[in-house]
Structure 1
Amino acid sequence: MIRLYVRKRLHGPGGDFLLDVELEVSDAEFLLIFGPSGAGKTTLLRIIAGLEKPDEGYLEVDGEVWHDSKRGINLPPQKRDVGFVFQDYALFPNMTVAENIAYGMKRKDPQKVLELLRLAKMEALKDRKPSELSGGQKQRVALLRATAREPKLLLLDEPLSALDQETAIALRDEIKAFQRKYRIPTFMVSHSIEDVLRLADRVLRIENGRIKAFGTPREVLFSREWSPKFSLTGVLLEKVCVDVACILSIAVGSELVQVVVDKKTAQELSVGDTLLVSTKAFVPVVKKLHSPHLNT
């Protein structure tokens, strides 16, 4: 069981706000932390890892207290049993794939390294350096390295955001398979609806540092107030308005989708926004998830 309580004053696009999160997560659960940019998602991961300190908080993992602001307990990162996968892979360029995976293992075990490589179908690449790998292969190595530590908690910070759609689909399956096989409680930050639906046991939706929803993917995404028949995410490429309606051209993966909306809805949208498109009784509904114009 993981018990977490965090309060920390942050500065975002709209000014100062308070990250205020309290939750409990059961063993081997995959929790996906979802929400707009600047909501405090990555900061929450860094606090759990000990890379940042909350203004006030408590963190207990598997019966061990890692942080308690009232008692002055704050274990440093090296004493927290976590595996952290960063967006930029953070591999050691001078080490081979096998050496990167073995780095940080509590007990050096070449057979365990080979077992992990076989599971990821990367055994033939064990002697290569990171510079010789594709983006998807680097992310696999980062995931294997974090798993090889046999951590009490696995933290993933948007691990698929820099990958193409085809690679991301394959890696989602591998992440889920590894997490299930090794039964490691996992917290993952993502903006992707696909990640929510394919990976999460439960979803924590955060906006401006506050919990807006916490539950299963369907409970969070398909609430009573917004219950779509289908949904997809994409980036707004073009907006053309004629009379009272506007045509939105939206990139969804490698496909282009066009949706007609009223002018009032279109006025709130800008080229580059990430949109969620769904239907209510066969009427398209467009909802902005986040905007690059608000990123820090």
Structure 2
Amino acid sequence: MQHRQGALAFDAAFNLTEPWTVLFGPSGSGKTTILRAIAGLMRPAAGRIVLHGATTTTLFDTAAGISLPAYRRGVRLAAQVAALFPNMTVRQNIAYGVPAASAEIVDEALQRFRLTGLADSMPWKLSGGERQRVAVARAATSAITVSTGSLLLLDEPFAGLHLPLRDELLDDLRSWLAAKKTPVLSVTHDVGEAFQLAAEVIKFSDGSVLEQGPVETVLAEERTRLLDQLSRLQQRQ
């Protein structure tokens, strides 16, 4: 993908080869723009985006003149800000876009995301963290039930949660999506989160891919630096 956004020039190319891939980089490096381009929420200046699943679908290709609208892509996005339907309950939000034949997946999502007791609540009654969980549950259930190839995009949707709950939800989500064979591309700048997921990592900076591979290799330097910082903090206490 080639694109320019303000002073940031994108020249990014990568393949997703593992069930869960983490796009890792500092704030402002262009990670969210990459997700938006894949989801069809913005149009790159040039490039090609292909989704491989039961069938291979070209989502975007400037050379071939292809640009599928977002609603025709088997891609679902949970962003940093939870945009829920204000006139729908939690259950109705999660069920949006789920085929009637797959209705049982909604109950499964409510349980996985600790939302069963809030199923009949309206969004305005929820805390910020609860709204985020509903948004992720909605995107995940929709991606799982796409009939052709699908991809779930996560743009740091758990960033505002307490760490124990975030870690628990990530573990549950990873096992659930792996069982449903739904691939994930998630964004983070949190080294601990990347290691917890034990995922393939794409290190991203200034609109370009710097390195791709196992988290233990790609983020070894960042992990060492983080452990050193924690050690110094403990020594001061």
Report the Cα distance in structure 2 between the residues aligned to 1:136 and 1:35, rounded to whole angstroms.
23
In structure 1, the residue matched to 2:10 is: 19
> 1:91-113 deviations in whole A, cap 9, x for unaligned?
11221111001112244643221
TM-score by length of 1: 0.70
In structure 2, the residue matched to 1:134 is: 127
Larger of the two Rg values belongs to structure? 1
Report the Cα distance in structure 2 between the residues aligned to 1:7 and 1:35, rounded to whole angstroms.
18
> 1:162-220 deviations in whole A, cap 9, x for unaligned?
22323322222222223222221111111101111011421111111111111110110
CA contact (8 A) 1:102 1:109 kept: no
> For 2:233, what is the secondary structure of its paired residue?
strand
Q: CA deviation at 1:259?
A: 7.3
Q: CA deviation at 1:140?
A: 2.1
Is 1:9 matched up with 2:4?
A: yes
In structure 2, the residue matched to 1:100 is: 93
Where structure 2 has 5 or more consecutive residues not aligned to the other structure, the ranges are: none
In structure 1, the residue matched to 2:220 is: 222
Larger fraction in helix: 2
Larger fraction in strand: 1
Matched AA of 1:76? P
Where structure 1 has 5 or more consecutive residues not aligned to the other structure, the ranges are: 1-5, 234-249, 261-296
Q: Using CA pairs below 8 Å that are at least 6 residues apart, which structure has the higher relative contact order?
A: 2
Report the Cα distance in structure 2 between the residues aligned to 1:227 and 1:122, rounded to whole angstroms.
33
> For 1:231, what is the secondary structure of its paired residue?
helix
TM-score by length of 2: 0.86
> Taking every aligned residue pair, what percent have the same amino acid on both sides?
34
Pairwise mapping of residues 263-282 of structure 1 onto structure 2 (< 5 A)? none
> For 1:214, what is the secondary structure of its paired residue?
strand
Report the Cα distance in structure 2 between the residues aligned to 1:67 and 1:160, rounded to whole angstroms.
29
Is 1:257 matched up with 2:225?
A: no
> For 2:15, what is the secondary structure of its paired residue?
strand
Query: RMSD of aligned C-alpha atoms?
Result: 2.5
CA contact (8 A) 1:9 1:17 kept: yes
Report the Cα distance in structure 1 between the residues aligned to 2:114 and 2:10, rounded to whole angstroms.
40
- Give aligned pairs, total: 228
In structure 2, the residue matched to 1:207 is: 205
In structure 2, the residue matched to 1:43 is: 33
> 1:31-74 deviations in whole A, cap 9, x for unaligned?
11111111110000000001011111111112111111001100
Report the Cα distance in structure 2 between the residues aligned to 1:124 and 1:258, rounded to whole angstroms.
39
Residue from 73, 76, 86 that aligns with 2:69: 76
